[in-house]
């Protein structure tokens, strides 16, 4: 269950990179992690297996427990689709930003940002709980869809370094988010 919630958080992070004010509309979006490579190893199959285990775990839960888990995800701005993707609700505040939000807590800072037509490129660095992350990314908007590619280097408090490449896609579903709570940018970054 924790691995599934961690996978949800990774997907949320992928979405938050899209928040650049260049095509991101407030409302409901469907997000899919297309590819994830960790330290040169393609993690796509492992992620798919983790999503399948999460879906099976959710299906096996008593109805009250499943409803509680679904409610928890929605409170964090996520709703899982039947095929392993996620729906997220983007707030108007997040949609109008002109810089990426890499994390909801505000531990990451954008160092470079460039808009060229429908393509936004950026670099960022983060420090949290003794870990550091640095990276760069590119987001391309096309009508009601967006793609993002990010490359990230992490260093944990013990000094171990890891490289990650992530690719995700988003599709706009409409202005009505239903019962999914909108994502909000960190208060200190408004």
**With bands split at pLDDT 50, 70 and 90, how would you rate the model's confidence at 164?**
very high
Q: Which tokens in the block code for residue 10?
A: 């990774």
Is residue 189, in this structure, part of any structural domain at all? no
pLDDT exceeds cutoff 80 at 174: yes
The count of structural domains within the chain is 1
Whether residue 161 is contained in a domain is answered as yes
Are 23 and 86 contacting, i.e. CB atoms less than 8 angstroms apart?
A: no
pLDDT at residue 83, rounded to an integer: 65
Supply the pLDDT for residue 39.
Answer: 92
- More confident: 184 or 125: 125
Q: How far is CA 105 from CA 56, 113, 187, in A?
A: 31, 20, 9
Residue with the two structure tokens 């679904």: 70
8 A C-beta contact, residue 93 and residue 184: yes
142-155: average pLDDT: 92
In the predicted structure, residue 4 carries a pLDDT above the cut 70: no
Q: Does residue 127 sit within a domain?
A: yes
Arithmetic mean of pLDDT, 9-22: 46
Longest pairwise C-alpha distance within the chain: 50
Q: Tens digits of per-residue pLDDT, 33-92?
A: 888 899 999 887 777 777 778 777 877 888 888 788 777 776 665 666 666 678 888 888
Domain, as residue range, for 173: 2-184
- Among 179, 190, 133, smallest CA distance to 19 is for 190
Scanning the structure block, which residue is given the tokens 């409901």?
28
pLDDT tens for residues 99-139? Answer: 666 665 667 778 888 888 889 899 988 888 888 889 999 99
Query: How many CB atoms are closer than 10 A to CB 152?
Result: 19
Q: Rounded distance, CA 121 to CA 116, Å?
A: 8
- Residue 121 CA to residue 112 CA, distance in Å, equals 8
Residue 189 has pLDDT above 60, yes or no: no
Q: Report yes or no: 95 and 28 within 8 Å, Cβ to Cβ.
A: no
The region of weakest confidence among 83-97, 128-142, 154-168 is 83-97
Task: Tell me, yes or no, whether 49 lies in a domain.
Answer: yes
Of residues 90, 81, 126, the one with CA closest to residue 16: 90
C-alpha triplet 132, 94, 186: angle, nearest 5°: 45
């Amino acid at each position: 269950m924790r691995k599934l919630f961690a996978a949800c958080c990774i997907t949320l992070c992928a979405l938050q990179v899209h928040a650049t004010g260049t095509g991101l509309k407030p409302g409901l979006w469907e997000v899919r992690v297309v590819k994830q490579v960790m330290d040169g190893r393609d993690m796509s199959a492992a992620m798919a297996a983790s999503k399948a285990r999460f879906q099976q775990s959710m299906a096996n839960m008593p109805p009250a427990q499943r409803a509680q888990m679904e409610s928890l995800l929605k409170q964090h701005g996520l709703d899982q689709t039947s095929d392993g993707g996620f729906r997220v609700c983007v707030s108007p505040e997040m949609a109008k930003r002109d810089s990426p939000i890499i994390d909801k807590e505000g531990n990451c800072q954008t160092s470079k940002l460039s808009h060229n037509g429908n393509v936004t490129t950026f670099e960022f660095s983060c420090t949290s709980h003794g870990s550091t992350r640095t990276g760069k990314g590119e987001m391309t908007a096309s009508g009601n869809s967006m793609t993002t590619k990010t490359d990230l280097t992490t260093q944990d408090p013990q000094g171990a370094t890891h490289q990650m490449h992530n690719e995700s896609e988003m599709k706009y579903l409409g202005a009505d988010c239903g019962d999914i709570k909108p994502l909000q940018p960190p208060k200190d970054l408004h």
